[in-house]
């Protein structure tokens, strides 16, 4: 390992502190940025599906992201670590964070409305709170966390609208698939904590590289890409945006947040993704915001405030202060 790489790794390790139960303003801004990026990914997936099958899209997304991140690692003066144990961890992380959830959600969305899929995917923080309580020592469940998640889930349901819930009576397996993806994301957030001594860029690169290796033979067997028609330019553009912005950049932010804010705080992003998608539609596509969407966003904001805990602590201090 080069001297510059050692220096960068040591500096990153010095920046890591204990998991914070309350996020800073900078962490909240990064979380909002991540939600905007992943909120836009639904549009790019829809465009890509016009010319490519599911597994080929997922492989293009992680494979191109791996190339971009390997270049970024070199440009930053870092080096990818070796060791069978570490790379076995990258393969587990890539499976939990990319291979399994990407494939399940894209397949499920061919059977479900996007609104219902968004509601089911937004259960990720609920799974995370429960699993982190059982599997970690520093992210135990509290009444505030649980209440905040439940209020946030109600907000997502209100924002998407009652019509999206009409599909709950049918299409059981696609619904289970999205819930399985949510659980996989939650496990990935908890498992990924073990890499927080490494640079976020290195972890992101290891994860998508492992996902690419796992997906490549499956795509060759299932999709036989050499038989596919040549995709239109907009399809290539959508895959490129998914790879560079929604995967390479997004997972660099993801692992920065995971190292400092923890899995429970980080995966609140899944409740914010529908908010960002609706705001992007209103801002760039001229779509009108309805009252139930505004009310749902306000309810989500309330859930996030409850989970953050600062407002409640200040209120308790104010109530406990002697009156003069």
193 within a domain of the structure (yes/no): yes
Q: Does residue 212 register a pLDDT over 50?
A: yes
Distance (Å, rounded) from C-alpha 69 to C-alpha 213?
15
Span 68-97, pLDDT tens digits: 999 999 999 999 998 999 999 999 999 999
94 within a domain of the structure (yes/no): yes
Give the rounded distance of the alpha carbon of 110 from its chain centre: 20
17 within a domain of the structure (yes/no): no
Tell me the DSSP string of 173-216. Answer: HHHHHHHHHHHHHHHHHHHGGGGTTS-HHHHHHHHHHHHHHHHH
Q: Which two tokens stand for residue 268?
A: 């609140």
Q: Which two tokens stand for residue 259?
A: 């190292």
4 within a domain of the structure (yes/no): no
Average pLDDT, the chain: 79
**pLDDT at 287 (0 to 100):** 59
Q: Which two tokens stand for residue 89?
A: 């961890």
In this prediction, residues 284-301 reach a mean pLDDT of 69
**pLDDT at 196 (0 to 100):** 81
**pLDDT at 75 (0 to 100):** 93
Q: How many domains does the chain have?
A: 1
10 within a domain of the structure (yes/no): no
Span 226-267, pLDDT tens digits: 888 899 999 999 999 999 999 999 999 988 888 777 777 777
Per-residue pLDDT band for 1 (boundaries 50, 70, 90) equals very low
Distance (Å, rounded) from C-alpha 35 to C-alpha 278?
11
Domain ranges, residue 94: 22-311
In this prediction, residues 7-12 reach a mean pLDDT of 45
In this prediction, residues 197-221 reach a mean pLDDT of 94
61 within a domain of the structure (yes/no): yes
C-alpha gyration radius of the chain: 20
pTM, rounded to two decimals: 0.77
CA-CA distances (angstroms) from residue 67 to 9, 72, 299?
21, 9, 40
Q: Give alpha helix (H) positions in the chain.
A: 3-15, 25-48, 54-75, 84-94, 100-108, 114-121, 124-135, 143-160, 172-191, 200-222, 233-243, 250-266, 269-284, 291-308, 310-320
């Amino acid at each position: 390992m080069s001297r510059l790489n050692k220096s960068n790794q040591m500096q990153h390790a010095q920046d890591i502190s204990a998991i914070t139960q309350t996020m800073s303003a900078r962490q909240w801004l990064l979380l909002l940025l991540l939600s905007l990026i992943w909120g836009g990914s639904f549009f790019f997936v829809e465009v890509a599906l016009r010319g490519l099958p599911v597994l080929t899209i997922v492989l293009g997304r992680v494979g191109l992201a791996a190339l971009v991140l390997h270049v970024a690692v070199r440009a930053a003066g870092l080096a990818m670590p070796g060791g069978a144990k570490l790379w076995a961890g990258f393969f587990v992380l890539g499976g939990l964070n990319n291979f399994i959830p990407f494939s399940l959600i894209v397949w499920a969305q061919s059977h479900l409305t996007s609104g219902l899929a968004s509601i089911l995917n937004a259960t990720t923080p609920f799974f995370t709170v429960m699993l982190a309580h059982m599997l970690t020592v520093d992210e135990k469940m509290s009444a505030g966390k649980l209440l905040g998640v439940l209020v946030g889930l109600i907000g997502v349901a209100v924002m998407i609208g009652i019509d999206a819930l009409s599909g709950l009576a049918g299409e059981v397996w696609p619904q289970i698939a999205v819930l399985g993806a949510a659980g996989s994301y939650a496990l990935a957030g908890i498992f990924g904590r073990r890499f927080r001594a490494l640079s976020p860029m290195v972890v992101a690169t290891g994860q998508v590289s492992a996902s690419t290796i796992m997906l490549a033979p499956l795509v060759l067997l299932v999709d036989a890409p050499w038989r596919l028609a040549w995709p239109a330019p907009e399809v290539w553009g959508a895959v490129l945006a998914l790879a560079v912005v929604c995967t390479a950049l997004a997972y660099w932010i993801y692992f920065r947040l995971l190292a400092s804010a923890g899995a429970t705080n980080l995966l609140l992003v899944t409740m914010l993704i529908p908010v960002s998608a609706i705001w992007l539609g209103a801002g760039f596509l001229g779509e009108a915001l309805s009252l139930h969407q505004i009310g749902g966003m306000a309810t989500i904001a309330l859930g996030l405030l409850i989970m953050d805990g600062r407002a409640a602590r200040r209120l308790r201090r104010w109530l406990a202060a002697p009156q003069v």
